[in-house]
């Protein structure tokens, strides 16, 4: 039977050490811990390269993937990240298999077995994320597990792309695999592979190849661990693994202990439910006491009849991306980090729905919570030895741009256009700007695919792919810029396209300490264009950016400006559309930004003249772009005075603010206003 | 600096007096046991085109839809520094974002070594 959600949440934490493991730790000689931890990391790096070179789907090739090493009881020891979230949840199916299938006579577990799963109810994130798990045996003893996971953008659901916006229950979401033994003797069973390929018939080639890529990566890692055990002995491996987990736990506790006790709160808003623009809120109270952190998501909007849900363990894993890439970045990526943490995720909220709920949009539904983790941790770390790790939120738009149909090579595809996905803006930092086009919110190391590669693989021409002006949140330090891409349907008569990008109404990204949040993102499409004629003629007025496209309108066609979030629809040859990836949040007051840095942004066209003058209050010569320092100082002083004169006292503000309320229509799924409590039952068929 | 401790980019806590103060100008905002935002001057930015100069007007542009979101800005009454801001749906309560355990904070920084020993 499915594991209980609360049990899965607890499975993120390490199991207590056994006497045997503590005994085995004594086998490590001085220097062994350092040498062999590094060795494990090298094994992981190698398996990641194997994975990357053998797969075909776009996220896999962008490096948005993980390979990991786990103890025989399923505790995470080390992982190549990659997608930190997959490393964290990787523990759950292993613990489930260890508890359920190992001693089940019809299943069992022996050397060469291969397990496979995708169901979030058994520890996955959403059913796009397929995970292979392999036991590692040496001398007949189970000494470890390895895994390899990557998102696959097709699941055989009711819409192409694996994340159907119209899904009302899990029965609309296609292939959902509880952990099954899919192979024996180091080989996949072809009858079961055929079943999966058949279920993923919109993109069968991707399923057939990427299953093998996952297996190859996990098996390479397995082989290396066997060699290590043969060289050093099984007990040495046990001791090493436990030492890594303990080091991470002790390091985490020590660090938390130094921070200031208290409550740190944040709220973010998301503008999509199912196929509609509706408001929901995510609320976090982070309680720090002694060496413990408690993550309490009470106050988050209730579950809905949409696919924008996730399981509590998936929420924790998504929030952990920030923990592992910032707060505890220098500690081993292991289960030890979670030992001093508790998670409160009330039943019936969007992060802990009924098991029948659709949750194929699990990862994107966590972006608001990821912002909250980032912001609350930054407030917690400011007055601490970790001050240098303080930063505003990453873009967190989740640039899911999904395309399907038959490509120019006659191959049916259903995949991400992963450029925007991997080029979101980074949050501005305590002492510097965020990185422009830094990466993917779920995978800091992800890289945007090469444009030429995209054009070779897919039925699209990239008219524009560049940094988007004014897209990073303004502040003393600027949020990293996001990007803008213009895609044109090429080679084929038509293609299908949908977008899961959020943030046309309100962004779930936040600035920090007076830094502004980044701008919203409109959707732009132009149909029935004359783009090919213009390119053939060599016209000089082809737009080089989204704003130019819509303001000059030199390309003829039917312009539609609406939401960036799009249901699946047909785009014909020559039709084009714009996709923005969100910029990051700003840090600190705009009036404290070094005027020289504003000038530099202006020269690089990262910001517009309007922004330089109206936001940063910069005085400069429009011809020579030379700054007037004295005048800038005066303008900024004037703005400070204006703020003081327009600012209200708290009581006056409360009186005016409490009279306001959003339109009833957008609160359809919000829950009670303003505290987001459950107000109705969701009936699922 | 005296007994002040910097808690955010723009806020200090005076530990002896238990007060939130502006880090830039020293202005006393409010008791450290209160939400510092209540000691700030507050401005409701209803038209977000004043921050995000959207070339696209209408319900979908580069500035949030004002029926969905407004920006609440918190200024230091002494020097006009923007201490913090919040993007909120109209009327949504302002967040009490930093509620420190003031007693623990004082204990950490004000008690001498011998006092700490005695307390144990
Ligand atoms: Zn001040």
Can you tell me the distance from the alpha carbon of A374 to that of A515, in angstroms, rounded to the nearest whole number? Answer: 14
Nearest Cα of chain A lies from the Cα of B29 at a distance, in angstroms, of: 11
Q: What is the CA radius of gyration of chain A?
A: 25
Chain A: residue nearest B12 by CA? Answer: A383
Query: How buried is B66 (Cβ within 10 angstroms: 0-12 exposed, 13-18 middle, 19+ buried)?
Result: middle
Give the rounded distance of the alpha carbon of B85 from its chain centre: 8
Can you tell me the distance from the alpha carbon of A349 to that of A220, in angstroms, rounded to the nearest whole number? Answer: 40
Q: Please check whether residue B85 lies inside any domain of the structure.
A: yes
**In Å, how far are A23, A399, A478, A595 from A619, measured between CA atoms?**
69, 36, 19, 9
B26 touches chain A (CB under 8 A): no
Q: Please check whether residue B116 lies inside any domain of the structure.
A: no
Helices (H), A293-366: 312-322, 362-365
Q: Quick one: DSSP state of residue A73? A: T
Confidence label for A362 from pLDDT (cuts 50, 70 and 90): very high
Q: Which domain, by its residues, includes B48?
A: 4-92
Mean pLDDT of A633-641: 98
Confidence label for A119 from pLDDT (cuts 50, 70 and 90): very high
Interchain CB distance below 8 Å, B61 and A520: yes
Q: Is the pLDDT of residue B120 over 80?
A: no
Lookup: tokens for A193: 């592979």
Lookup: tokens for B72: 């609440």
3-state class (DSSP) for residue A216: helix
Can you tell me the distance from the alpha carbon of B99 to that of B88, in angstroms, rounded to the nearest whole number? Answer: 20
3-state class (DSSP) for residue A292: strand
- The CA-CA-CA angle for residues A194, A200, A203, to 5°, reads 110
- The CA-CA-CA angle for residues A520, A511, A580, to 5°, reads 30
Mean pLDDT of A292-299: 98
Q: Quick one: DSSP state of residue B35? A: -
Can you tell me the distance from the alpha carbon of A42 to that of A55, in angstroms, rounded to the nearest whole number? Answer: 20
Which pLDDT does position A445 carry in this prediction?
87
Which pLDDT does position B118 carry in this prediction?
59
Give the rounded distance of the alpha carbon of A456 from its chain centre: 26
Domain boundaries, chain A: 36-225, 391-588, 599-646
Query: How buried is B116 (Cβ within 10 angstroms: 0-12 exposed, 13-18 middle, 19+ buried)?
Result: exposed
The tens digit of pLDDT for each residue in B37-48 reads 999 999 999 999
* pTM higher than 0.95: yes
Whether B78 contacts B27, CB under 8 Å: yes
Q: How many CB atoms lie within 10 A of CB A332?
A: 24
Confidence label for A583 from pLDDT (cuts 50, 70 and 90): very high
Interchain CB distance below 8 Å, B90 and A660: yes
Interface size between A and B, measured as CB pairs under 8 A:
196
Whether A67 contacts A222, CB under 8 Å: no
| Residues 6 or more apart in contact with residue B78 via CB below 8 angstroms | B22, B25, B26, B27
Q: Please check whether residue B103 lies inside any domain of the structure.
A: no
CA of A586 to the centre of ligand 1 (A): 20
Tally of structural domains, chain B: 1
Q: What is the mean pLDDT of chain A?
A: 96
Which pLDDT does position A398 carry in this prediction?
87
Confidence label for B108 from pLDDT (cuts 50, 70 and 90): very high
Interchain CB distance below 8 Å, B62 and A610: no
The tens digit of pLDDT for each residue in A242-294 reads 999 999 999 999 999 999 999 999 999 999 999 999 999 999 999 999 999 99
Whether A454 contacts A460, CB under 8 Å: yes
Can you tell me the distance from the alpha carbon of A191 to that of A181, in angstroms, rounded to the nearest whole number? Answer: 12
Confidence label for A363 from pLDDT (cuts 50, 70 and 90): very high
CA of B83 to the centre of ligand 1 (A): 8
Q: Which residues of A445-472 are buried (b: 16+ CB within 10 A; e: fewer)?
A: bbebbeeeebbebbbbbbbbbbbbbbbb
Nearest Cα of chain B lies from the Cα of A479 at a distance, in angstroms, of: 14
Which pLDDT does position A491 carry in this prediction?
97
Nearest Cα of chain A lies from the Cα of B60 at a distance, in angstroms, of: 5
Could you tell me the end-to-end alpha-carbon distance of chain A, in angstroms, rounded to an integer? Answer: 21
Closest CA to A384 of B74, B108, B26: B108
Q: Please check whether residue B88 lies inside any domain of the structure.
A: yes
Interchain CB distance below 8 Å, B42 and A470: no
> Any idea which of A72-76, A247-251, B52-56 has the lowest mean pLDDT?
B52-56
Interchain CB distance below 8 Å, B89 and A269: yes
Mean pLDDT of A375-398: 97
DSSP assignments along A131-144, one per residue: EEEEEEEETTEEEE
Which pLDDT does position A413 carry in this prediction?
94
ipTM score for this prediction: 0.96
Q: Least CB-CB distance to B99: which of A262, A476, A657?
A: A262
Interchain CB distance below 8 Å, A383 and B97: no
Q: Is the pLDDT of residue A410 over 60?
A: yes
Q: Sort out which chain A residues have CB atoms less than 8 A from B8's CB and list them.
A: 379, 382, 513
Q: Sort out which chain B residues have CB atoms less than 8 A from A645's CB and list them.
A: none
Q: Please check whether residue B106 lies inside any domain of the structure.
A: no
3-state class (DSSP) for residue A335: helix
Which pLDDT does position B111 carry in this prediction?
80
The tens digit of pLDDT for each residue in A126-168 reads 999 999 999 999 999 999 999 999 999 999 999 999 999 999 9
Mean pLDDT of A362-384: 97
Q: Sort out which chain B residues have CB atoms less than 8 A from A643's CB and list them.
A: 41, 43, 73, 75, 80, 82
The tens digit of pLDDT for each residue in A200-246 reads 999 999 999 999 999 999 999 999 999 999 999 999 999 999 999 99
**In Å, how far are A280, A377, A561 from A256, measured between CA atoms?**
31, 11, 47
The tens digit of pLDDT for each residue in A422-480 reads 999 999 999 999 999 999 999 988 889 999 999 999 999 999 999 999 999 999 999 99
Window 91-120 of B, Cβ < 8 Å to A: 91-101, 104-105, 108
Q: Is the pLDDT of residue B113 over 80?
A: no
Q: Please check whether residue B102 lies inside any domain of the structure.
A: no
- The fraction of chain A above a pLDDT of 70, given in percent, is 100
The tens digit of pLDDT for each residue in A52-67 reads 999 999 999 999 999 9
Confidence label for B56 from pLDDT (cuts 50, 70 and 90): confident
CA of A221 to the centre of ligand 1 (A): 56
Q: Is the pLDDT of residue B117 over 70?
A: no
């Amino acid at each position: 039977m499915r594991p209980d959600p609360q049990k899965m949440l607890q499975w993120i934490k390490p199991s207590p050490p056994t006497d045997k493991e503590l005994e085995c730790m004594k086998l490590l000689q001085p220097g062994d811990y350092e040498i062999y931890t590094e060795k494990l990391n090298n094994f992981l790096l190698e398996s990641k390269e194997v994975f990357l070179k053998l797969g075909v789907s776009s996220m896999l090739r962008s490096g948005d993937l993980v390979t990991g090493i786990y103890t025989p009881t399923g505790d995470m020891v080390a992982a190549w990240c990659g997608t930190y979230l997959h490393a964290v949840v990787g523990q759950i199916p292993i613990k489930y298999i260890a508890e359920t299938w190992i001693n089940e006579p019809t299943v069992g577990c022996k050397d060469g077995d291969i397990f496979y799963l995708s169901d979030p109810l058994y520890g996955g994130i959403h059913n796009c994320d397929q995970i292979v798990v392999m036991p590692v045996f040496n001398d007949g003893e189970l000494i470890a597990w390895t895994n390899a996971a990557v998102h696959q953008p097709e699941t055989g659901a009711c819409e192409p792309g694996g994340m159907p916006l119209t899904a009302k229950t899990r029965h609309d979401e296609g292939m959902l695999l509880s952990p099954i033994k899919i192979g024996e003797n180091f080989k996949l069973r072809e009858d079961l592979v055929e079943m999966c390929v058949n279920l993923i018939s919109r993109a069968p080639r991707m399923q057939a190849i990427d299953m093998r890529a996952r297996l190859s990566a996990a098996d390479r890692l397995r082989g290396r661990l066997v060699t290590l055990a043969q060289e050093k002995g099984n007990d040495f491996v046990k001791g090493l693994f436990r030492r890594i987990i303990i080091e991470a736990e002790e390091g985490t506790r020590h660090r938390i202990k130094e921070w200031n006790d208290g409550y740190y709160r944040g709220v973010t808003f998301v503008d999509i439910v199912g196929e509609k623009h509706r408001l929901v809120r995510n609320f976090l109270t982070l309680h720090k006491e002694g060496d413990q952190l408690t993550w309490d998501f009470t106050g988050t909007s209730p579950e809905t009849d949409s696919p924008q849900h996730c399981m509590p363990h998936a929420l924790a894993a998504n929030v952990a991306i920030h923990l592992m890439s910032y707060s505890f970045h220098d500690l081993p990526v292991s289960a030890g980090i979670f030992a001093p943490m508790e998670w409160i995720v009330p039943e019936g909220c969007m992060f802990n729905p009924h098991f029948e709920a659709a949750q194929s949009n699990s990862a994107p539904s966590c972006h608001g919570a990821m912002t909250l983790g980032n912001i609350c941790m930054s407030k917690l770390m400011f007055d601490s030895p970790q001050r240098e790790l303080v930063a505003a939120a990453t873009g967190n738009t989740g640039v899911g741009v999904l395309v399907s149909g038959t490509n120019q090579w006659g191959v049916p595809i259903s995949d991400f256009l992963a450029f925007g996905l991997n080029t979101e803006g980074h949050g501005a930092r305590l002492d510097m700007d965020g990185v422009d086009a830094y990466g993917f919110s779920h995978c800091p190391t992800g890289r945007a695919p090469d444009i030429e590669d995209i054009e070779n693989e897919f039925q699209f021409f990239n008219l524009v792919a560049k940094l988007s002006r004014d897209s990073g949140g303004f502040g003393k330090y600027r949020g990293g810029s996001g990007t803008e891409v213009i895609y044109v349907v090429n080679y084929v008569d038509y293609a299908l396209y949908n977008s899961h990008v959020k943030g046309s109404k309100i962004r779930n990204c936040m600035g920090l300490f007076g830094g502004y949040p980044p701008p919203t993102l409109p959707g732009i499409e132009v149909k029935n264009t004359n783009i090919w004629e213009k390119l053939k003629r060599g016209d000089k007025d082809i737009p080089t950016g989204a704003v130019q496209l819509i303001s000059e309108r030199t390309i003829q066609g039917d312009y539609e400006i609406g939401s960036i979030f799009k249901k699946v629809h047909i785009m014909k040859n020559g039709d084009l559309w714009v996709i923005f990836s969100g910029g990051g949040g700003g840090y600190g007051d705009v009036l404290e930004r070094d005027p020289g840095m504003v000038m530099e942004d202006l020269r690089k066209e990262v910001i517009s003249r309007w922004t330089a003058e109206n936001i940063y209050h910069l005085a400069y010569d429009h011809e020579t772009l030379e700054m007037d320092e004295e005048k800038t100082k005066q303008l900024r002083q004037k703005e400070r005075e204006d703020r003081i004169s327009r600012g209200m006292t708290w009581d006056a503000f409360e009186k005016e603010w409490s009279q306001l309320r959003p339109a009833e229509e957008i609160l359809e799924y919000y829950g009670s206003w303003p505290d987001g409590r459950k107000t109705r039952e969701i009936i699922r068929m | 600096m005296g007994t002040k401790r910097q808690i955010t980019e723009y806020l200090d806590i005076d530990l002896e007096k238990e007060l939130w103060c502006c880090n830039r100008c020293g202005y006393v905002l409010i008791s450290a046991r209160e939400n510092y935002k209540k000691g700030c001057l507050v401005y409701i930015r209803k038209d977000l085109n004043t921050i995000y100069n959207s070339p696209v007007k209408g319900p979908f542009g580069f500035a949030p839809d004002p029926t969905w979101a407004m920006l609440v800005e918190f200024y230091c009454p002494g020097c006009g520094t923007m201490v913090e801001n919040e993007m909120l749906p109209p009327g949504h309560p302002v967040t009490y974002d930093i509620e420190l355990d003031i007693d623990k904070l004082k204990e950490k920084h004000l008690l001498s070594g011998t006092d700490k020993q005695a307390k144990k």
